[in-house]
């Protein structure tokens, strides 16, 4: 089998971590007997600098013609003063829309070796293994009307609209229930139904899909978003699959990321259309860009998600995840997860250690 992968490194530490992750991808292809064609494109701030806009038509075309997209982080203070319509992050939203990627999967699994790196006590966080299923193409990020207007009296008013339709809720609910069937068969649906009409509809439709679409084997519970934020800190092990709206998912998944010790540990997959898009959860971290300090593990684990969900190479994905765990068990840490009595390594060295473990496992 041969696969075409659109590689979009992005900004800040994006090129560094993506470079190391593609080496892991090429290594896996060699071991498991498939081939990958890596086609690189410029997005985000780098694209603004080169072309005056965060996403060009040619890069969008490349993404649509590929089997999967590997995306680095985008943005940074350099471009913060730009109008919202042309900021680096608009490229991400456009890719999600054009590729019809309505479901973002963010697995939050604590590696045992990192239990003491979490800001929570070991007994609270150890054993955490949950999946956030976030709706991606609806909600407040895309709803109309939106914008900033000046009223007759000179006061400025900013407006964003939270809007969801029945089909949008149905498809993300089904995605969550199907994911739960492969895990511990429990879905927690997060909303704000006590004050928001859009959430009232969300809860109604999620309940109906559960009742009428053959998911009786999956347990469904509802929780308000503020309570969910608290429960993630109080007792994260109670969660299996969490399904929620675009904005709530954005916030809660970043909170959940810190349970693992660092946001630099979390991968994500955006699915729904023919082409899946894969990106680490962390940002561009421009303050450490180019210094060999970035943690490449989230992007390497993102490649594992790509192998599993888009390339049908589950064994290769398992080997990568096992190699990451073995390196962490060996006491190696990048700066963001550094602990006492552990060996501090840089981005390149951490990735090399993972590749060595993959190679050893393939022998």
Q: What is the pLDDT along the chain (363 residues), one digit of tens a residue?
A: 899 999 999 999 999 999 999 999 999 999 999 999 999 999 999 999 999 999 999 999 999 999 999 999 999 999 998 888 899 989 998 999 899 999 999 999 999 899 888 888 889 999 999 999 999 989 999 899 999 999 999 999 999 999 999 999 999 999 999 999 999 999 999 999 999 999 999 999 999 999 999 999 999 999 999 999 999 999 999 999 999 999 999 999 989 988 887 788 899 999 998 999 999 988 999 999 999 999 999 999 999 999 999 999 999 999 999 999 999 999 999 999 998 889 999 999 999 999 999 999 744
C-alpha to C-alpha distances, 328 to 108, 205, 280, nearest whole angstrom: 16, 42, 18
Characterize the bridge pairing of strands 267-271 and 103-109. Answer: antiparallel
| Residues carrying an active site annotation | 141, 192, 226, 250, 254
Residues across the chain: 363
Closest CA to 130 of 218, 232, 225, 239: 239
What CATH number was assigned to the domain covering residues 119-134+162-260?
Answer: 3.40.50
How is residue 36 annotated by DSSP?
E
What's the pTM value of the predicted model, to 2 decimals? 0.88
Nearest 5°: the CA angle 109, 22, 93 is: 70
CB-CB contact of 293 with 334 (8 Å): yes
Scanning the chain, the segments in alpha helix (DSSP H) are 14-32, 45-51, 57-65, 89-98, 122-125, 166-181, 197-212, 225-234, 246-257, 297-309, 314-329, 347-362
Domain boundaries, the chain: 1-108+263-363, 119-134+162-260
Secondary structure string (H, E, C) spanning 137-180: CCHHHCCCCCEEEECCCCCEEEECCCCCCHHHHHHHHHHHHHHH
- Range 1-108+263-363 classified under CATH 3.40.718.10: yes
* Contact status, residue 99 vs residue 64, Cβ threshold 8 Å: yes
Pair 202, 164: CB distance under 8 Å: yes
Q: Could you report the per-residue pLDDT of 209-249, keeping only the tens digit for each?
A: 999 999 999 999 999 999 999 999 999 999 999 999 999 99
How far the first Cα of the chain sits from its last, in Å, is 22
How far is Cα 239 from Cα 56, in angstroms, rounded to an integer? 40
Look up residue 346 and give its DSSP letter. Answer: -
CA distances from 16 to 13, 30, 233, 353 (A): 5, 22, 32, 16
Beta bridge partners of 332: 343
- Smallest CA-to-CA distance from 91 within 11, 210, 203 is with 11
Q: What is the pLDDT of residue 363?
A: 43
Query: Residue 287 burial (CB < 10 Å; 0-12/13-18/19+)?
Result: exposed
């Amino acid at each position: 089998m041969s696969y075409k992968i659109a590689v979009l490194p992005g900004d800040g530490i994006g090129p560094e971590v993506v470079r190391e992750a593609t080496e892991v991808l090429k290594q896996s292809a060699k071991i498991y007997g498939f081939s990958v064609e890596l086609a690189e494109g410029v997005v985000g701030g780098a694209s603004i600098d080169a072309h005056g806009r965060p996403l060009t038509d040619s890069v969008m075309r490349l993404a649509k013609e590929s089997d999967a997209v590997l995306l680095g982080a985008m943005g940074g203070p350099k471009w913060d003063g730009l109008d919202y319509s042309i900021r680096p992050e608009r490229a991400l939203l456009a890719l999600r829309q054009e590729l019809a990627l309505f479901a973002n999967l963010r697995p939050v699994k604590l590696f045992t070796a990192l239990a003491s790196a979490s800001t929570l006590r070991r007994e609270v966080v150890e054993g955490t293994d949950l999946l956030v299923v976030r709706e991606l193409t609806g909600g407040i990020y895309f709803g109309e009307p939106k914008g900033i207007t000046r009223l007759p009296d000179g006061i400025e008013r900013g407006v964003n609209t939270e809007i969801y339709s029945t089909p949008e809720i149905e498809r993300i609910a089904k995605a969550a229930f199907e994911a739960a069937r492969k895990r511990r068969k429990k879905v927690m649906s997060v909303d704000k139904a006590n004050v928001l009409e859009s959430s009232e509809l969300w809860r109604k439709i999620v309940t109906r899909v559960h009742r009428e679409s053959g998911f009786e084997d999956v347990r469904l519970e509802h929780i308000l978003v503020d309570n969910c934020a608290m429960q993630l800190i109080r007792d994260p092990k109670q969660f299996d699959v969490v399904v929620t709206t675009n904005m709530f998912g954005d916030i809660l998944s970043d909170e959940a990321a810190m349970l693992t010790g660092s946001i630099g540990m979390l991968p994500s997959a955006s699915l729904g259309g023919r082409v899946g898009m894969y990106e680490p959860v962390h940002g561009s971290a421009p303050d450490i860009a180019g210094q060999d300090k970035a943690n490449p593990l989230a992007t390497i684990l993102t490649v594992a998600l790509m192998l599993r969900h888009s390339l049908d190479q589950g064994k290769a994905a398992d080997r990568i995840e096992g190699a990451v765990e073995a390196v962490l068990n060996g006491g190696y840490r990048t700066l963001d997860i550094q602990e006492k009595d552990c060996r501090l390594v840089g981005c390149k060295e951490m990735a090399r250690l993972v590749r060595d473990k993959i190679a050893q496992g393939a022998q």
